[in-house]
Every structure is written in C-alpha cells, then in structure tokens.
Chains A and B, each alone.
Chain A
Amino acid sequence: MGKIAFVELLDRRGNIRGRVKVDSFPAMVGRGYANAVIVDDRLVDAEHLRLSVDGEGAIVVEDLNTLNGTRLSKSGERIERHRIPAGGEAVIRIGQTVLRLRGSDFEVGPTVSFRTLFGPLRRYIENAAVASAVFVTGFSITVLTFAQEIDKKVIWYDLTAISLVLLVVFALWTGFWSFVNRLVAHSFRFMTHLAISGIASIVFLMLVTVREYVEFLLSAPLAAKVFGPAGFTVIFSLLLYAHLSIMAESSGRKRMLASALISAGIVGIVLLTQYAYRKDFSNELRFSSVMKPIGRKWVRTVSSDEFFGDLYKLKEKVNAMAQEGPKEKMVKE
C-alpha cells in the first residue's frame, strides 16, 4: 500500500481550517491550480513545495527555490529540504500560511476522559430531576435564611415577597447564563444552570453563615474580614472555571489557574478600593455586633482587664489620625 499523507491548514491558534489527503507522489503544493494542494496566499509561489516519499517511507518536503522560501513554523529556520520520518510530523510556514504534514502512520495520543472538576457532578446536574431538586433546595434555604431575619409576628407576607423577588433573581441569572451558553456553545442547558444557581446560593449562604459564626466565636472581626474575601475568591473562581470549560479547550489546570487569578484580581481590586477609602470620614461606628445562639463556653472571651488594657493601641491609632489632619486638606496641600 502506498504512502498517504495529510496536509492540514492551521490558523494562528493552531486550529485546523482545512485538510487535504495526498495519496500520489510526488505531489505539488502552491498557489497554482495545477497543484495537489492549493494555497491561497500571495506570498506563496505558484509551485512552492514538492512532497515525495523516500525509500524508507519518510515524507520529503522540498522548497522549489521560491521567492519567500519555506520555514519550520516553530524555529523559523529556513529549509530547502526537510524529511519527516515515518510516524512523525512537521509544521511549516510558507508565506503567511501554516501547514501541518502528517502521514497516515501518525499515531494519535490516548483518548482524554472528560475529567474536569465538574465532570462527575455534571452527570447529575444535567439530569432534570436532580437539577430541579438542587434548585428547590438552594431556593428554600435562601428563603429560610431571610426568614430568620424578619422581626415581625406574621412573617408570611414578607416571606412571599422575598420568595418572589428571589425567584425573579434566580430566573434572570439562570436565563442570562443559558442565553450566553446558547450563543457560545449552541445549547441552552437551562436545567444545568438552574442547578448551578441553586448550588451557588447554597455555597454563598454557607459562606456568609460560617463567616458570622467565625466572627462570633473568635470575637475576631479581622478573621471574618479575611474569611469573606477568601471565600468569595473560591466561589467565584469555581463558577468561572465551570464557565470557562465550555468556552476554551485549554487544559483543566490552565483554566483553574486563570479562574483563580481572575477571581483573586477582582477581589484584590475591591479590597484595594476599600483600602484607598479607609480614611474617609464618617460618624459611623464599625464594630462586630454579631451574636449567635451558641453556648457561651464555646466563645473565645477575654477578661475585662485584658480588653481595657489593650486599648492603648486604639489610642495610638486615633492619635495618628488626628495628627494627620483631615483627608481633604491633605489633598489641597
């Protein structure tokens, strides 16, 4: 059986735009219409390359003394003659066109399993029943959480109002992402998004609740301050990761890294803005007021002496601010 080669036309990102099967050699590649492979590129000669097969079954590429020459795509090295051993490949550039040459004996890599982070989960959340259940759970928990903050005797009016508002928010969110999905990946996947909105709300509420409990138990607003942004970064990067997976074909690790970096960047910008405005004047008191129904023995406490003895740091901080003068004035000066 004679040698069969494939000439593949690649775009800049390495995606294949066209593939030509060559089964009789020598075969010509160029701009002219007499060639086996026609390349529509003004920088390519009418007859640019000749492909042949040597005695050992290797594909030989020869430049036909062309005006702009032939180069290896990766190194840019100009070639007159290049040999592709059996089972190998070459990516070359003629003019502005990138060609990949492979023989039929080229061995493809092993099949990649669909192992993204959401891979196993996906199977479940794409199931309509499971997705609906997840959504209903998320929605109910959200409504219940709000119910805990109502200080009226009859709470049904408030609950109905909150539920309706939440339903609209969830529907809009889900609808928006389904629409984006339709545009990018050509399918709505509404149920999946419904499930994701349910999961996101559960995770978000867990985060808020855990943050409050950390603040209460450790009496440490600072710990809660760190916990909040960190938790948000994680949730946001997971969501981003899930969405990136349908859009790009890069590796899972790369996507994870990109999502984490973008999320950290967003959180960083928010924190930086807060930092920049930290000295803005207000008569507000900002202190930790969270109280939770947990036994007092679990709460980290200090003695009265410790609490009051530690206030000199606060004094120094206030004195430093008083010394600095008002912010506006500093700008003027």
Chain B
Amino acid sequence: MKRVVCAAIFYLIAMHSLPVLSIAEEMLPETEKVFGKYSGRVVKIHVVEKESGAKAVLGSGFFVDPHGHIITNYHVISKLVLHPDRYRAELVETAGTIRALSVKGIDVINDLALVKAEVNNVPFFRIAARELHQGTRLYSMGFPRDIGLSIVEGTYNGLMKHALYKKIHFTAPINPGMSGGPAINASGEVVGVNVSSRGQAISFLVPTEAVRRLMKSANTARKGPQSFLEDIRSQILAHQDVFFSEDLMRSGQTVRIGDYKLPGQLSPFFKCWGDSSHPEKSPYHTVDHRCSTDDYIYISGEHSSGIMSFSHRSIINEGMNNFRFNNLYSELFKAPRHYMAGDEEEVTKFECKSGTVKRGEITFKTAFCARGYRKLKGLYDVVFKAAVLSSENSGVETELDISGVSFEKAVALTEEYLERITWGK
C-alpha cells in the first residue's frame, strides 16, 4: 500500500513538474539555445603572412570529429595551398589560444577544405542525413569581419537552380569572415557550409554531400604542397569533362541575331541575357546576347576558373558611310567583352593568333587568345573572337571565353562554336 502511495505521489509530481520544466526550456528563444549549445564547435581561422606575422585572411570553420578535423572553405586557406612558403594557418580559440593548422584535403570545385589542429576530445558537429524542406529554419555561425562569433537565422530555400554543382540557397546575410562556418538545423546537425553571398540576404551553402566526400577522400591522404596543386589541377580537369562535354555545342540551342544563327543557351546551367542599345546620338544600334555559366571555381583572390561565357553583338548601321562603319566595327570587335582577371604569379599573359577564316559562305575575322596557368600546368584560359566580315549595313561579332580548360578541349570547343554560326534569312 505504502509503495502504491509513493508511486502515486511520484506520478503526480512528475506529471505536474514536466510541463513546468519544458516551459522553462521553451522560454529560451531557439537561436539563443542553438548558440549556447553549439558555438563552442565553431572556430576562427587565420591565414598569417609569415614575414609580417599579420593575418592575411580571416575565415571560420567547424570541428567534424573529436580529433581536431575542421571543415572550412578552400578560399579561406587558398593562400596557404598556393604559397606554403609564405603563409601559415592558425586556429584561434575563443580563449585566445592559437594552434597551428595543417591542410588535409581540398575540394576546389565545391570550395571546401579539410584542415586539422592538434587537439583531442573536442566537441564536434554531426553532419545531417535528413533532407530539408523549403522554409526550414537554419542557423549559420561564423566570425563576420572579425567582430566576434555571430549567429544568423535564416531559411532553407532549396538548391540553386541552373547550377551544375549543387549549392543551397539560404536566405540570411552571410558576411565576409563567416566563410567556412557551419549552417545547422535546430538539432545542431550541419546542413551546409557558408560559402558566398549575393545581395543582402541571398547566401549560398555547400551541401553536406561534398563535405562527406571530402572527409572520406582526405582520410586516406598524406600530403605535400605539390600534391595539393595536383589535386586542384585534376579536379578542374575533371570538372571540365563534366561541364564542357563533347556535344555541349552541338546539343544546345541557337539564337537568331540579324541574319545569323549563333549558339544560344547551351545547357540549363547557362544563364542568358539580351538587350539592345540605341544611343541617342549614334548612327548605329547594337543588339546584344550573352550567356554564362555560374559555377566559377575560386583558385585565388586574383584568379577564378571554370567559367564559360559567350556574347554576341550585332551592329546595325544607320547612316554611316562604309569606311566609318568599318572603323566602328573594328573598334567594337577589338574591345574585350569579358575581363579575365589574373595575376602574373598565376597566369602568363595572353598570346593571340589572328586570321581570316572562310567557312562556307561566311568569312570571319578571328582571333584565338590563350594564357597558361603557371602552377596548374596543362590548364589554360582561352578567349576566342570572331567577326563576320560585314556588309555595308550590319555586322555580327562574337566572343567566347573559357577558363580552366585543357588546350585541346578549348580548341575543340572553339571549333564547334564557330561551326554553329550560320547564315540564313
């Protein structure tokens, strides 16, 4: 009897106190709870220039196992990978303790890196296995502009459309310095890695599949600085095989500009735009059409790769004599459409071959320009320009830019590109 009474009393107490306890926990706002629980797993990463001893890059990262493995962005530690003689990477703990970091693996296509600090038994994040639904609340953490660890709340908005490599569209402001930090769900599972932002609250996360792949591949590795360069090279070459496939030019759409058909949206991951310009005081007008891929590969602050873009322009004469029109046409043809940035340490200057190519009924003024990557041997940036030798009244010129491609691939793509330009009313 006594036992029954005790049990009943215990039951009553338990039944009444549980809601009280859960109310107390619910009273804490979700974000604060998430921050309080998981902020210790996020770390600040400095890449330090050895001679000056000052930080050159600031980024974020997070522990993915108890042995000190940290995931961050490749672009946070790219200087260290490209110039290991000039930079070192450090982990700055909340208490101010500094620990050396070593690179264990990189994935330049998804902008990820796995680094390691010599620590043990650290709290770490688990990688989420569940699929997310649009509108799910997520929390991103990192060190924006070196002003201390921050948490931002936002929503999962699905995967980025028209991109060859998946990226999560996350609606929240991710600021410089938060790169490499985790985006987690309310249960503290990582659902993506902060990588970039566009506009006020449009940000992107690297999905967790890429993180898992990198952790898996890096586990087997051992590495010297040269082998990371080799990794970048082979990753970009593999990217080119997926991206710039053999029948890319042949299978894509065409677009009609004036009397000519030219390559249009080659595949869903190309974004195309068009416009025309009628300058008020000019005796001509132009019609422009341009397409570009979105998946650029960050190599260094000065150099990105992996982009293909092309633009066509039709110039319609409205009253100039033939000499004036040809002078204008030459000038417009000469001007570059797409500026390819690059640093002398990473790329050579452009070398060009000019010519006049006759193909069927069309005669083109052409130029094929290429520059080589100095560190990533066998990769090139290529610009191809072609202008249809004009009639008196109009001209059509086009530019194709491909970055991070093998020479042979570039030549094959360019040849196909020219092949796709046809005439016909």
Contacts and interface: CB of A to CB of B under 8 A. Distances in A.
Contacts, number: 159
Given A291-B333, A304-B415, A286 B356 contact: no
B212 interface: no
Nearest to A151: B328
Contacts of A304: 357, 359, 415, 418-419
25 contacts: A148-B324, A149-B331, A152-B282, A152-B283, A279-B349, A281-B344, A283-B339, A284-B349, A284-B350, A288-B365, A289-B385, A291-B333, A301-B357, A302-B356, A307-B353, A308-B368, A311-B407, A317-B351, A318-B372, A319-B372, A321-B348, A322-B348, A322-B372, A326-B344, A326-B374
Contacts of A147: 324
Nearest 8 A/B pairs, CB to CB: A287-B367, A322-B372, A288-B354, A289-B334, A301-B358, A293-B322, A287-B352, A281-B344
Contacts of B348: 281, 318, 321-322
A315 B283 contact: no
B369 A285 contact: yes
A228 to B, nearest CB: 16
B324 to A, nearest CB: 5
Given A289-B330, A291-B387, A318-B380, A308 B415 contact: yes
A307 B357 contact: yes
A307 B387 contact: no
B224 interface: no
B255 interface: no
Nearest to B366: A307
B185 interface: no
B356 A299 contact: yes
Consensus secondary structure, chain A interface = loop
Nearest to B390: A291
Interface in B281-295: 281-284
Interface residues of B, number: 64
Interface of B: 281-284, 319-331, 333-334, 336, 339-342, 344-345, 348-359, 363, 365-374, 377, 380, 383, 385, 387, 389-390, 392, 395, 407, 411, 414-415, 418-419
Interface centre among A147, A287, A288 (most CB of B within 10 A): A287
B407 A327 contact: no
Contacts of A167: none
Given A148-B323, A296-B389, A307-B366, 4 more contacts: A148-B327, A293-B326, A303-B358, A308-B411
A120 interface: no
Given A289-B330, A321-B349, A322-B348, A314 B392 contact: no
A299 B365 CA distance: 10
Interface residues of A, number: 49
Given A150-B324, A152-B282, A322-B372, A285 B357 contact: no
A154 interface: yes
A160 to B, nearest CB: 16
A315 B372 CA distance: 9
A12 interface: no
A108 B325 CA distance: 65
Interface centre among A279, A285, A299, A300 (most CB of B within 10 A): A285
